[in-house]
Amino acid sequence: MVSLGDVKRSAATLFSQGQHLAALRLYDAIVAAAPLDYDARLKVADCALAMGDATAAKVYRAVAWYCMKSGHPLPALVCARVLEAHGADSSDITATLVVSYGSESELLGKVTSRVARPADGLPVTVPDVRQPAPPDAVATALQRAEHATDSFKDFPDAVHPIPLLSTMSEAAFRRVLGTLVLRRLPAGALVIREGEPGHSFFFVAGGDLRVFATDGLGRQTDLARLGEGAVFGEMALLSAQPRSASVGCLSDVDVLEVGRQSLASLADELGAVAEALHGFTRERLLGNLMATSPLFRPFNRMQQRDLLRRFTSHDVAPGTVVINEGEEGRGLFVVLSGDLEVSRRSSDGSTVPLGALKTGDVFGEMALLRNARTTATVVAQRPATVLFLAREYVARMVAGVPEIKNYLEALAEDREIDNQLVMGEDDTPADERVLI
Ligand code: CMP
């Protein structure tokens, strides 16, 4: 016996190698052991379809209805999209989806549950796929996948809403559903690459994904794992900035993509949708800041949350002066989103740009550490959100946590050296400078 998770991984590998019959036999073994595994049923249909068997349509329909009733609307939508792509009608599925999961649905209850997929650890008896398959292997598997839950009656009375979609009017929900594009990706594929422009966001319908950031040295930091029902890719879309992180597939993945174009078609509802997406973004930015900023590194999760609560958050319009050169240092700032420019006045009165600040960057530390006046001006270049921690609290943190003190001091020192080079104030003779 092999665990269900391992069988699925082997089946996915076989499928990606074009060994559709062998993959089908493994997925069928899963359905036999765990009839509630709608994902394995869907994959049986995928394998049969890849072998040119059009009767797979019956399985997609059966899985769609099961998923819809058991609280898994997005895999139901995957089935509908596959049916449409092969010329079959799935309008009854999408119509029921809107009625069951739309904002006016009576099924969207407070006490919700969904019928869980069997656990990955479940033991499964598998056939030896090196041996020839029985002649009726495909027909038997399709039959089993189609009828696996025929006698299942334990459907929940109330279902979970679909993030975002269930908050829209039914008309808008229907419009968006019509524009969702299904992307079916193998394990290892990258859905989003950090730094690229972003014109769409995604719903995860199935599979597991990993969100990760890559630093200048190529080191990766895991930011999150995403599974069925998660939304991602909204940040770049909202901010018109490059993708803030990469998102890759840990398994076979089905995602439903919403392009900028289809959002534009929402007209009246766009404001509400953008607001809901902003909610995701803010939570994620804060989470990422805690995962990646050296400022939060010395603390455990609870302390990080506590520290974060002491910051106040400020949305600033382009052109806003956050720090004015020569003023008293008021506290420490962290860029949550947006870009800010740092500049200093030179002796002839002109403004010399010193650098840019972006998400995760800390500023305001120099004046605080030296108890001196600020040495540069910081201006928002585009809409930005900055977090602010008052100087009294920073002083306590610096006194109590040596790692923070060291980090801020090293940061201030590096910046001062850079600034002197830019301003031409370095007293070191040119031939003694070491440029790293
Ligand atoms: P975007 O910047 O467009 O592309 C990468 C996506 O990764 C980003 O939008 C978010 O949707 C997602 N993302 C970034 N950080 C997190 C996180 N901490 N948790 C979940 N998703 C995240």
Residue 211 CA to ligand 1 center (angstroms) comes to 7
pLDDT band for 100, please (50, 70, 90 cuts): very high
Q: Does residue 359 have a pLDDT over 50?
A: yes
Which value, to the nearest 10 degrees, does the dihedral of the CA atoms of residues 372, 373, 375, 378 take?
A: 130
Contact between 96 and 90 under an 8 Å Cβ cutoff? The reply is no
Mutate to test the pocket of ligand 1, among 209, 210, 237, 247 (most ligand atoms within 8 A of CB): 247
Q: What are phi and psi of 422, to 5 degrees?
A: -65, -40
pLDDT for the residue numbered 430: 44
Residue 243 CA to ligand 1 center (angstroms) comes to 8
Top mean-pLDDT range of 193-207, 294-308, 345-359: 193-207
Residue 405 CA to ligand 1 center (angstroms) comes to 30
Q: What is the bridge-based pairing of β-strands 253-259 and 351-357? A: unpaired
Residue nearest to atom 20 of ligand 1 (CA): 224
Do 181-292 and 301-432 agree at the fold level? Answer: yes
Domain 301-432 coded CATH 1.10.3720.10: no
Strands (E) located in 153-239:
181-185, 190-192, 200-206, 209-214, 220-226, 231-232
Mutate to test the pocket of ligand 1, among 220, 235, 250 (most ligand atoms within 8 A of CB): 235
Summarised one tens digit per residue, pLDDT across range 199-253 is 999 999 999 999 999 988 899 999 999 999 999 998 888 777 889 999 999 999 9
* Better-predicted residue by pLDDT, 256 or 260: 256
Residue 232 CA to ligand 1 center (angstroms) comes to 6
* Better-predicted residue by pLDDT, 133 or 269: 133
Which 3 state secondary structure label does DSSP give 331? strand
CB 395 near ligand 1, within 6 Å: no
CA 274 to chain centre: 16
Burial group, residue 302, by CB count within 10 angstroms (0-12, 13-18, 19+):
exposed
pLDDT band for 118, please (50, 70, 90 cuts): very high
pLDDT band for 431, please (50, 70, 90 cuts): very low
d(CA 290, CA 295): 8
181-292 folds as: Jelly Rolls (2.60.120)
pLDDT for the residue numbered 435: 37
| DSSP calls for 232-262 | ESHHHHHHTS--SSEEEESS-EEEEEEEHHH
Residue spans per domain, the chain = 2-162, 181-292, 301-432
Q: Does residue 331 have a pLDDT over 50?
A: yes
Summarised one tens digit per residue, pLDDT across range 19-74 is 999 999 999 999 999 999 999 999 999 999 999 999 999 999 999 999 999 999 99
Average pLDDT, the chain: 91
Which residue blocks in 86-233 are alpha helix, DSSP H?
Answer: 91-101, 137-147, 170-179
